[in-house]
Amino acid sequence: MARTLLCEIVTPERIVYTNEVEMVVAPTIDGEVGILPLHAPLVTVLCAGELRVRYNDNKEVEWFAISGGYLQVHEDKVIVLADAAEHASRVDVERARQAKEIAEQRMAEMKEKPLMEQSDIDECEADLNWCKLQLRVAERRS
């Protein structure tokens, strides 16, 4: 049996995932990082992207959409503190598509208005990117 590490994915609202895994691959601001058992202690900033965990002799993979946050490795434990996270199987594809369309409409409207606040544009763009990411991760389950 392969050595494992405990992986926890946590958002401000809930614990998204807790399980013994063999590997965690996470998107950081410097690129993807792979965490195996006995990894050196680490704290890093996560960017929005796909996080995956491998288990069952690396035969099984679970995918998560994360919107950013932090990753901490200490001994044989990985903690992902994410702003938002969703397991691929829990993504409501139809709802994400509708939200994406709404965000795209809002972006188009904002581009037509010359005096829009940059913070409003950034927020809308973040919403749009979150919807796209959820849809991409949801494709992984099929």
- In order of their start, the domains of the chain are 5-88 (2.60.15.10), 91-141 (1.20.5)
Q: Give pLDDT, residue 86.
A: 94
Q: Residue 58 to residues 21, 47, 61: CA-CA distances in angstroms?
A: 9, 24, 7
Three-state secondary-structure class, residue 83: coil
The C-alpha atoms of residue 28 and residue 24 are separated, in whole angstroms, by 12
Could you tell me what percent of the chain has a pLDDT over 70? Answer: 96
Write down the pLDDT at residue 132.
93
The mean pLDDT value of the chain amounts to 91
Neighbours of 112 (CB within 10 A): 7
Q: What is the pLDDT of residue 101?
A: 92
Residue-wise over 42-55: b if at least 16 C-beta within 10 A, else e? Answer: eeeebebbbbbbbb
Highest mean pLDDT among 77-91, 92-106, 116-130: 77-91
Q: Express each pLDDT in 22-60 by its tens digit.
A: 999 999 999 999 999 999 999 999 999 999 999 988 789
Contact 28, 45 (CB under 8 A): yes
The model's pTM? 0.86
Q: According to the model, what pLDDT value does residue 1 have?
A: 59
